[in-house]
Amino acid sequence: MNKTWMLLGGFFAAAAIVSLCLLDEAVIAQGKDDQGRNAESDEEQSVEDKLLFVGTPACSARGCHGGIEPLKKDCWQNEFTLWLRNGDPHLRAYEVLKSDQGMQIGRALKAAKIIDKEPHESPVCLVCHTTPWAATGEAERQRTERRFGVGCESCHGVARYWLNPHTRPDFKKTLSAVERRYKYGMVDVSDPIFRFQMCTRCHVGAPPSVDPRDWDGVPLLADVNHDLIAAGHPRMQFEASSFFANLPPHWNPNTPDRVKNDEGKTWALGQVVSAWAAARLLKHRADASTGSPWPEFAEYSCYACHHNLRQDSVRQAQDQKHDRVTLGSRPTKPGTLPWGEWYFSGSYALASEPATHPADAVAKCVLDCQKAMTFGARPFETQPNRNQAGEAASRLASALEALAVKLAKSPPSPAYLSAVLKVMAGPTPTSADWEVGEQTYLGLRTFLDRKQSPAEIKRLLPMRAFPSDVNGPVRYNGPEFMPQLRELLKQFP
């Protein structure tokens, strides 16, 4: 098919969807048409009036963000159209709940009495598979919003208080990003801290919060714990830079702040904000009053338990030599569950280099949290102490918050980040399991041209990859993988 016609077809399809959206929104907003026909019951209209979110259709008008051609200014006003046309994965978040895999996971969760409805009807699933404030209730606006998957307000903030004000020319000029966030609930996603805070609410997890202007919470608990993983849900292994690099853009990439984007700063803040979210979630999990399962095995490395049982395995050789280490280069005893390697290896390494004042606090808090969460090596040690773990997680979250603010004001230099990656890579061939190895690899990729990567990087793929028939890195070999990363790191200052 002619490329021009394919492009036009995409625009026409987007325009058709926009038109349908506008029709939906008109019905929802008016409640009654001009001839007096009731579109909603009085009770449902009352529910609509109390909803904090306005819905994705409210953003999709051609004069708002549903235009066909980009305008010649920073805001193109065709962002919604691009979001549809480019196939953003968030658009499919609701529909995957109805897929074969989604239904299979749902059957397992229902059998375990974790949900009592189909996945596409259960708030446990909907809190992250649609705009969170559409996860409960059956008002028309909520049902409509679910069809858009994870809609506009999931990332940009619930718009009840800012939808009209943000159209004023002076709105952005007279109010800082912080004022817009906490006064109106509008999230400036050009700020990497705000952006990653919104991502981590679902891609890491978050405790419930009644105030949508709290970045750290959603109306319901968002937590892919070990029960959901055991039912077949993928584990939440979020790395901000790589996720964002793979997201189809629906924004203008040529604005000054995006052209001047500091990849190193973005990576560092992604590490710290993700760890911040993980610490806050751990604090919630450790609180016995929440009824959360304990110990929560999603806090630990999957591959501490799920690994090959061959007698000649690398793991057994390491155990015999007490050569396998975890955060802080601490040796692990056979039977110990290593904690926190995915979300805290980067933050610990950032804190190990003396660049910012809060760094020492972060390093100490990470090790304190690790100590509180580590168990399994001593007889009759069946679980970590919840109170100690919760207190350690609370201190760690506060230290990470201070470190994020400091890094945002004083971005780390390339030499500093190179030193951080070398800390992550470790001094010995056996210093890292897959989780630390993969985080180090993704950090290294941040500083390499993604389109012209060295051949050495490509040769690492077989060891990193999950085979199609196994949900795990069965070919990973730390003593071979990490030295190759260290050789690549020698290219940097």
Contact partners, residue 151, CB within 8 Å, separation at least 6:
55, 56, 90, 130, 131, 134, 145
Q: Both tokens of residue 185? A: 């609930």
* Residue 331 pLDDT > 80: no
* Residue 286 pLDDT > 70: yes
Please tell me the predicted confidence (pLDDT) of residue 3. Answer: 42
**What DSSP character marks residue 329?**
G
**Average pLDDT along the chain:** 83
Please tell me the predicted confidence (pLDDT) of residue 353. Answer: 65
Tokens 């991502």 locate to 199
Please tell me the predicted confidence (pLDDT) of residue 414. Answer: 83
Q: Both tokens of residue 449? A: 């041209």
Q: Both tokens of residue 9? A: 């077809």
Please tell me the predicted confidence (pLDDT) of residue 23. Answer: 36
The more confidently predicted of residues 121 and 212 is 121
The rounded distance, in Å, linking the Cα atoms of 62 and 93 is: 24
Tokens 């660049």 locate to 355
pLDDT in tens, 185-229: 899 998 999 999 999 999 999 999 866 555 456 789 999 999 999
Establish how many alpha carbons lie within 13 A of residue 22's alpha carbon, considering only the half-sphere containing its beta carbon: 16
What is this structure's pTM?
Answer: 0.87
